């Protein structure tokens, strides 16, 4: 990152505690750039689009989720066990704490919630690292309280590692990943693999994939026939595409794109969270920021955030892409 940018942040005090974006004479603080490898990306991101810094000072921001009725974005700060809320009008406010761990230990590394989603009834669904479960917040979105119902805690009587990211299909089936990132050294690992699962509406947990070393981000194609998985393994930094049948079972799989060789000192990050645009294009966090991939696996460009980037998410109408990048909440306007 450029030294001048760090100086601006330090002058504003943005590196100390989470706070909303500050500006001088209402100038927008920006960071990074857009790498354009194919002209197709211009239909998604205009050539004059800039990456805005909306908030900063988090330990590891994750799980951005747009709440249309509140015109707000909520996102997690996993190490601090909190969820934050950002709006254009009111800037930044604490939304929920605790978010992923309800116990008394204060020495857990990543206790908070990670990925977030809404079910068909508008309930907040959370991948809760500390509790090692997929949970549902019991209170309304407008008045959040740290009261949860466990939707899934394990597979075949064995406790999950730490559910990480999730996505619903139109049938109400929930697909989620379970790497070990939320586990502490004293946690007992019950499963000898890192799984990708499907939770059905009757509460049954189905194992779909057990062959990936670090399954992380997850998404569905617009026709819901393809399940995309990001693998955050530095030796095998890849994105996978799995074909699904009508019941939501995996019938075949392939490597969509291999990003292993893109890792460098200047391109931080691994395949992590991802979201699928209505056009079918995949916005996948990885080396350098957010890679934009075609459904065929062609890399058409990268939103270069200058930080390790954890996840991203659209607002309604896909007018903006919000990105959680290390200690920053970022935004770029889309066409």
User: What CATH number is associated with residue 116?
Assistant: 2.120.10.30
Rounded Cα distance between 259 and 261, Å, is 6
Cα dihedral: 212, 214, 217, 218 (round 10): 20
Rounded Cα distance between 37 and 100, Å, is 39
Instruction: For residue 121, say whether it is annotated as part of any ligand binding site.
Output: no
Q: Could you tell me how far CA 70 lies from the centroid of its own chain?
A: 20
pLDDT value for 20: 52
pTM: 0.92
Task: Please give the order of strands across the beta sheet that includes 226-233.
Answer: 215-220, 226-233, 236-244, 250-258
Concerning whether 184 is annotated as a catalytic residue, the answer is: no
pLDDT value for 33: 98
DSSP letter at 10 equals H
Structure token pair of residue 124: 């907040």
- Mean pLDDT in runs of 10 for the chain (335 residues)? 36 44 60 98 97 98 98 98 97 98 96 98 98 98 98 98 98 98 97 98 97 98 98 98 98 98 97 98 98 98 98 98 98 97
For residue 155, give Cα distances in angstroms to 72, 158, 192, 200, 307. 34, 5, 12, 13, 35
Domain hosting 234: range is: 3-333
What is the separation, in whole angstroms, between the first and last Cα of the chain? 27
Structure token pair of residue 47: 């050539």
Instruction: For residue 216, say whether it is annotated as part of any ligand binding site.
Output: yes
pLDDT value for 18: 56
Region for residue 32 given its phi and psi (left: phi exceeds 0; alpha: psi -120 to 50; beta: otherwise): left
Nearest to 281 by CA among 318, 246, 252, 244: 318
Compute and round to an integer the Cα radius of gyration of the chain: 19
Map tokens 């990480």 to a residue: 164
DSSP letter at 298 equals -
* Burial grade of 216 (CB within 10 A; 0-12, 13-18, 19 or more): buried
Instruction: For residue 81, say whether it is annotated as part of any ligand binding site.
Output: no
Nearest to 170 by CA among 243, 226, 222, 124: 222
Q: Which of 165, 272, 315, 326 is catalytic?
A: 272
Rounded Cα distance between 255 and 250, Å, is 14
Domain count along the chain: 1
């Amino acid at each position: 990152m450029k030294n001048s940018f760090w100086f601006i942040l330090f002058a504003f005090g943005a590196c100390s505690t989470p706070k909303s974006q500050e500006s001088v004479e209402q100038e927008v603080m920006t960071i990074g750039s857009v790498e354009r490898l194919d002209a197709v990306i211009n239909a998604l991101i205009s050539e004059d689009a800039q990456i805005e810094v909306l908030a900063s000072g988090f330990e590891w921001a994750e799980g951005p989720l747009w709440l249309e009725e509140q015109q707000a974005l909520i996102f997690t700060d996993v190490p601090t066990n909190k969820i934050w809320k950002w709006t254009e009008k009111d800037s930044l406010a604490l939304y929920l704490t605790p978010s992923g761990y309800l116990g008394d230990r204060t020495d857990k590394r990543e206790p908070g919630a990670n990925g977030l989603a809404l079910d068909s009834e508008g309930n907040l669904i959370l991948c809760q690292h500390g509790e090692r479960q997929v949970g549902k917040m019991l209170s309304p979105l407008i008045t959040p309280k740290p009261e949860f119902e466990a939707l899934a805690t394990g597979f075949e009587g064995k406790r999950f590692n730490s559910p990480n990211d999730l996505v619903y299909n139109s049938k109400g089936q929930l697909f989620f990943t379970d790497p070990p990132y939320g586990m502490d050294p004293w946690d007992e690992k019950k499963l000898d693999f890192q799984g990708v699962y499907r939770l059905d509406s009757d509460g049954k947990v189905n194992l779909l994939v057990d062959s990936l070393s670090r399954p992380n981000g997850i998404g569905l194609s617009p026709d819901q026939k393809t399940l995309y998985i990001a693998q955050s393994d530095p030796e095998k930094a890849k994105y996978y595409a799995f074909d699904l049948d009508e019941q939501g079972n995996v019938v075949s799989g392939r490597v969509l794109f291999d990003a292993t060789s893109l890792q460098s000192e200047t391109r931080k990050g691994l395949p992590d969270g991802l979201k699928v645009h209505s056009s079918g294009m995949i916005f996948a966090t990885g080396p350098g920021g957010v890679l934009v991939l075609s459904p065929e696996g062609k890399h058409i460009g990268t939103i270069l955030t200058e930080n390790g980037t954890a996840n991203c998410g659209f607002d309604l109408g896909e007018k903006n892409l919000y990105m959680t990048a290390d200690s920053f909440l970022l935004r770029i306007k889309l066409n």
